[in-house]
Amino acid sequence: MVTTFLATIPSPDQGVWQLGPVPIRAYALCIIAGIIVAIWWGERRWVARGGLKGEVTDIAVFAVPFGLVGGRLYHVATDHQKYFGEGKNPWEAFAIWNGGLGIWGAIALGGVGAWIACRRRGIPLPAMADALAPGIVVAQAIGRLGNYFNQELYGGPTTLPWGLEIYDRVDPATGLKDELNGVALDHTPIDIVHPTFLYELLWNLGVALLIVWADRRFRLGHGRVFALYVAGYTAGRFWIEIMRTDPANQVFGLRINVITSVVVFLGAVVYLALTAKKGDREVIVRGDAEASETGDGATPAGGAASAGGATPAARDSGSADTTGDGTADDRAAGDRTSGERAVGDRTTGDRAVGERTTGDGSSGKPDEVDVKAESRTVPDTKPGDKPD
């Protein structure tokens, strides 16, 4: 019997540990770890694109709670029979720590939270989404480890060497079956199945590598990195979902998540096609030049370019190149420096105009009307004048 199972993958004995009265759940730890990785990586990519450090964290303050609520709402809506009906406890719908987050709802409502935060900060949402995309899909991969500890989201029986062993878990105090909070006291597998959670984990990591490569190679922007992530993820979720054997509601004889995968995949492909002609990646330009005109060299809070609050803008980067993980090279920095030089030149020009319009030179004061008329002929070359 032992020889039969040497090549298979054992499941964890348990997914919950007690720290005094507090349960420590592997599923929750994996979700938290994924969120941390997504914020950390997204921050690095955002700063490399010209954003300010700390802005991704500000966005996450809105996006993460919205995403958790959206993920739970989708799960409860598509698996309502687990919580409502005869013998069911509706309050269990709020027990998010027991597992059950639908990625579709998490991304949809999380995107609403991100949109609200971006509007408050004056940040273009597509540019932020592109910066976050690789971190999000890696966070999903980490979250799938939580399904491993919960012994859930697996496929049908298999004889493949990477088959997953499923154990009976029981409450040690009562001996009653408890699949979620129990412990496996007997390590004889009751089944050996396809580890579909592992297939999705590996697929997600592959998608992350794909979109990082494509971003560097083709300088994707205007939301195309995020759209490519969505298309890549849904393509994998389609065939992995078909392999799963856990109970699920169906539409037209197919699991509802299979239908959702197809619809979302087509939407992502259409978006990629519609934005194909938008040109090179946008570069986030801050109001540094405007801040220098105030005389004190200070930038208003949040990188604001004016008293109206933060006003970062996005413009096509054109000839700018990237190194490493999408970092703008010295050419992009040179563009900004040139812009600041232009501001200085324009200021000097305005002074010269004023001197020419003093009339007889007796008062030393320029004629205000003439100065304004002449100044309007000087082109404004400040960075950020042409937001995307």
If one compares 266 and 346, the residue with the highest pLDDT of the two is 266
Average pLDDT in the chain: 80
CA trace torsion 249, 240, 170, 28 (10° rounding): -90
State mean pLDDT over 65-90. 93
Q: Which residue's structure tokens are 């169906």?
A: 250
* pLDDT tens digits for range 38-52: 999 999 999 999 999
Backbone phi, then psi, for 2, in 5-degree steps? -65, -40
* pLDDT tens digits for range 194-224: 999 999 999 999 999 999 999 999 999 999 9
Domain segments of the chain as ranges: 3-274, 282-375
Quick one: pLDDT band at residue 352, thresholds 50, 70, 90? very low
Quick one: pLDDT band at residue 314, thresholds 50, 70, 90? low
Stretch among 20-24, 132-136, 155-159, 378-382 having the lowest mean pLDDT: 378-382
Stretch among 61-75, 152-166, 287-301 having the lowest mean pLDDT: 287-301
Kindly state the percentage of the chain with pLDDT values over 90. Answer: 64
* pLDDT tens digits for range 137-159: 999 999 999 999 999 999 999 99
pLDDT at 286: 52
Backbone phi, then psi, for 286, in 5-degree steps? -90, 170
237 Cβ neighbours under 8 A, 6+ residues apart: 200, 257, 261
Q: SS3 for 113? A: helix
Annotated ligand binding at 144? The verdict is yes
If one compares 376 and 208, the residue with the highest pLDDT of the two is 208
Q: Which residue's structure tokens are 């040179």?
A: 334
The amino acid present at 23, given as its one-letter code, is: P
Query: How many Å apart are CA 260 and CA 250, to the nearest integer?
Result: 11
Query: Do the beta carbons of residue 231 and residue 272 sit within 8 Å?
Result: yes
